[in-house]
Structure 1
């Protein structure tokens, strides 16, 4: 336990005019004397509760002389390490305050340091590894003093380097709080705060900050806006706080391409974060947690590169492990060629979105990814969207199903991905035209579930052996002019065209109208439960077709109906199997 004694001394030349208490009353600095305190104890005699992580008390020698600061700094001043500064009130800085290495400033209860840029205030605190600058409380209690508040100061001279700031946050959101200001922080410790260690508003910058420690702060290490996240470095530590996450306010990321580094804690995102007119790269090993109702949106001109690795996946998740907790990743109008989700986990989305990942008029390759625990689909793909080269993904435990997309994008799904373990084990395909390029539908581990009419125009569609295509009520598969259908199964891996309900006439069937391709073929195929508004489960109106080794059954009309203008193999009624068809099995010439 220390003790207090008083003696009279001549103050050094650096004593701050107008900043010392009672300076106008003829005592203290006004008459060349001051009460000085060899202060190796803190106010009220309280013992410390462990000090700071920087162990500055072991490194620095406390000066014998104490100077009290209470008013304001209105002219450029330098604080030196040969005295201990005790701040007794809110100290405003309206000029440049430079602080020498090894200087200690102690703040009484409710006191603080406010740098006012509009009045010309700036702070230059440059310590060294052996002589850090210390801002602390007279009592080792989180929130004992307000902290350092920098308001409207955009000076490029501002800096905190080799600094310890601790026990602040009393009437401030952070031990260091920036509002409309610029302040690089390097090699520093912000600790034991009642709020955040560092609070950065949306108009502020900490560009150039690195190698800091944010620990034992009640609300978390750092809170900042999305447009400042790239200023956080991986060499700093953000763990061991009341909330072990960096809190990110929802805002647009725009104006320049940036990278979000992998930290030792997750990013915790609030509200909606949107990437516009910039490319955001997220490093492998990064975790992003979204609060309830949050959303990650990539808009026109924006790009997202989330390229993880097998050992260091990138995770997009919810702060609560509840399906539909947040909206998900929404790519709207972004067709950037470098968009990518690779070795990524996206989970617990689908709140006000149709999928954990929802692509609308955009382009997003997805590889080696896991999309799970959505309240809707794992992946929802709107018309005019693409997921080229997507492969080796896992879609599981999604309430509505693994994937929902349109017929003209179904070819993006690969057989090396898994689509099982969902609320409905099927890939939902909205009926639309398949056109513009020849494509293949891969054999998946779940059926394709088609809604409405799917029509092939001016291209060839190949369906792989072992594929199952289920049609909802009233559905139809139509082959039009200039198109081709190549459905060649094997004896062991048949292709199945069936219904979501095993009821004859549930769907219309396969309707060929004007397709003259010599490649048209059904081989080792089962077609069943069709004939709803068609003359047969397979209805050949005009064109060319070969049908062999197939089973046509459970039609509400004919199994096969071929009109006179169709070129079909002569033995079509003999080399295929027909059963349980409502009107008849096979008829040629209608």
Structure 2
């Protein structure tokens, strides 16, 4: 039995041994480790270039590692960044004193490991040098508390193709001729505060030391608030004309847009701001321009409505105001402000209004030589000044006839001038006007232009004060003044003469103190009145005048006719010319030296309303009136074929080259010879 038990025990031991031997044939694989090694802690000085070293990291099996660095700790306000986050040995420069901690993560197909390294920086804070283009989003912090010292120094042209954010209090200095370009893929957000402005300036504080900033980005994030840009404008920025030097340029070709508020533009070698046509001011308020070599600002008039009244453009600039040109287009009405500091608009090239524009009282526009303002048919102008704050359109050089003037082509009934002064226009004819027509203000008859003109002054023109073509419409005309114009005070077509008021003043040192009139009245018009002027102004009739409607001539009105011109009262019209003993109505020649200077008056109208009382008609009969025989010369002719009618009393008919009145079968009051006075008419008083 013992022997059997021994054998069983032996068999059990043998089975255990065999089993143990089988397990040893497949031993367990050893564990493979991934180890991260961020390198030893380091000490550095502010501004020193530091190299981190993660190259001692390993995978026990030799597999390839990837690197990922992260900044886990740095001093407040530091903007230091690594040169790369994915290489074994990145670099960085500590910008502030303090501790910079970096964490390294290494990864292979066998796993991941992490390690940290600390860099302790000591020493004074110095300006960081920006010498590479900005291609990733970047925040510039205020690293130096002293606002008189720069936080950053830019040594050359820097292109920005990412989002550049600048914190309050940051000061950036530029080396000579350096520039900052915000590309069309980039943006700039520079938002300071009243206490901590953001400053872009030159290393040397002389006008025009660095080039300036150019924004080509159409990103709506672009904003400058409580920013100062100083000492730019050394040379033209890339893509700008060589003549354009400026602190800040907005690229119109890329439709750049930006908000500019509470900011200062100073000490430029040219403009404070130059905004090209096509650029967009998303906001503009409370900005200041001082000590710039050129004009405070240049902007095209499609953005003029964005300028606020409170911004200050007067402060020892080359031109204390805003240079403008271009076209005002778009829908809806916009307002062009007057500046509370008295700054002006300087018009450097022709400008066109092709939308509704309202101009605020007190605004002043000074035009360069031979430039003009055109209000086109799609637009209108509402220029409403006050007696204390007139709206002024004048020349840069205050010499008579220096700029072309204003032409209204628009038929919009909203066009209006009130308490406006237009001065020194009429250098050359406005576009579409005859070469001989020079004027401060022209209304286009072909487009049926309309305008209300009240309480306004037209002075120092190289020609007319105002020119109203036949077909144009004076919606209102009252209490206007015309003085020191080189031609007639005004020229008005006959169909608008009735809109002239008696108290407007045309008799003030003009070459001709009165109104040039010509053309015909409308045959469909109701009876109208032609005024006599209280200041003694006269009507100058430069071409034949036709009355196709009822016209009443007020006492005191005086008409001086050019040589060989005439007044025709046509069959569809009539004339009521009733003066008084003290204020006669006068029809005479422009010259009164020789009998027969102008043709005279012909009545073709059979209307029984035709009447003359206390009228003077003199120096007619230069040639026969239309439809009369060539031998018939007279002051007044009546057409027998139309059964013309006229009643004339208490009047003086004199100095004709032929008859006083030629009736010959027409209808006239029987007592015509006894109730009127006839003087020096060689052919006789009345031919019946």
* TM-score, with structure 2 as normaliser: 0.76
Residue pair 1:18, 1:71 contacting (<8 A) in 2 also:
no
Match for residue 558 of structure 1 among 649, 659, 662: 659
Judged with a 3 Å threshold, the aligned counterparts in structure 2 of structure 1 residues 519 and 255 are, in CA distance, closer, same or farther, namely: same
Judged with a 3 Å threshold, the aligned counterparts in structure 2 of structure 1 residues 493 and 580 are, in CA distance, closer, same or farther, namely: same
Measure, in 2, the Cα distance between the counterparts of 1:439 and 1:217. 57
The C-alpha deviation readout for 1:396-446, integer Å capped at 9, x for no partner, is 111011011222222222211111210122311123345331221111222
Displacement of 1:272 after TM fit?
0.6
Judged with a 3 Å threshold, the aligned counterparts in structure 2 of structure 1 residues 87 and 8 are, in CA distance, closer, same or farther, namely: closer
Match for residue 371 of structure 2 among 291, 294, 298: 294
The C-alpha deviation readout for 1:547-586, integer Å capped at 9, x for no partner, is 110000111111112122x332221111101110010012
Measure, in 2, the Cα distance between the counterparts of 1:18 and 1:427. 80
Corresponding residue for 2:557? 467
Match for residue 140 of structure 2 among 79, 85, 95: 79
Q: Secondary structure at the match of 2:512?
A: coil
Q: Secondary structure at the match of 1:270?
A: strand
Q: Secondary structure at the match of 1:547?
A: strand
Q: Are 2:543 and 1:442 aligned?
A: no
Judged with a 3 Å threshold, the aligned counterparts in structure 2 of structure 1 residues 106 and 511 are, in CA distance, closer, same or farther, namely: same
Measure, in 1, the Cα distance between the counterparts of 2:484 and 2:590. 21
Q: Which runs of 4+ in 1 moved over 4 A?
A: 6-13, 16-19, 31-36
Q: Secondary structure at the match of 1:415?
A: coil
Measure, in 2, the Cα distance between the counterparts of 1:524 and 1:115. 79
Displacement of 1:34 after TM fit?
6.6
Displacement of 1:18 after TM fit?
5.6
Measure, in 2, the Cα distance between the counterparts of 1:168 and 1:435. 66
Displacement of 1:33 after TM fit?
4.9
Displacement of 1:393 after TM fit?
0.6
Measure, in 1, the Cα distance between the counterparts of 2:647 and 2:585. 15
Judged with a 3 Å threshold, the aligned counterparts in structure 2 of structure 1 residues 340 and 469 are, in CA distance, closer, same or farther, namely: same
Displacement of 1:389 after TM fit?
1.3
Displacement of 1:451 after TM fit?
2.1
Measure, in 2, the Cα distance between the counterparts of 1:166 and 1:470. 63
Match for residue 468 of structure 2 among 381, 402, 421: 381
Tell me the C-alpha RMSD between the 2 structures.
Answer: 2.0
Corresponding residue for 2:413? 337
In our comparison, the structure showing a higher alpha carbon Rg is: 2
Q: Secondary structure at the match of 1:491?
A: coil
Residues paired across the two proteins, number: 542
Q: Are 2:260 and 1:185 aligned?
A: yes
Q: Secondary structure at the match of 2:303?
A: helix
* TM-score, with structure 1 as normaliser: 0.88
Measure, in 1, the Cα distance between the counterparts of 2:572 and 2:176. 83
Judged with a 3 Å threshold, the aligned counterparts in structure 2 of structure 1 residues 81 and 233 are, in CA distance, closer, same or farther, namely: same
Q: Secondary structure at the match of 1:228?
A: helix
Summarize the alignment of residues 405-424 of structure 1 with structure 2, pairs less than 5 Å apart: 405-420=492-507, 421-424=509-512
Residue pair 2:314, 2:321 contacting (<8 A) in 1 also:
no
The C-alpha deviation readout for 1:54-101, integer Å capped at 9, x for no partner, is xxxxxxxxx943211111110111111124111111121110001111
Q: Are 2:577 and 1:487 aligned?
A: yes
Measure, in 1, the Cα distance between the counterparts of 2:330 and 2:228. 33
Match for residue 258 of structure 1 among 313, 321, 334: 334
Judged with a 3 Å threshold, the aligned counterparts in structure 2 of structure 1 residues 165 and 575 are, in CA distance, closer, same or farther, namely: same
Measure, in 2, the Cα distance between the counterparts of 1:155 and 1:345. 42
Summarize the alignment of residues 7-18 of structure 1 with structure 2, pairs less than 5 Å apart: 14-16=79-81
Structure 1: any 5+ residue segments left out of the alignment? 1-5, 37-62
Q: Secondary structure at the match of 1:193?
A: coil
Summarize the alignment of residues 451-530 of structure 1 with structure 2, pairs less than 5 Å apart: 451-457=542-548, 459-502=549-592, 503-513=594-604, 515-530=605-620
Displacement of 1:250 after TM fit?
2.4
Displacement of 1:347 after TM fit?
0.6
Q: Are 2:268 and 1:167 aligned?
A: no
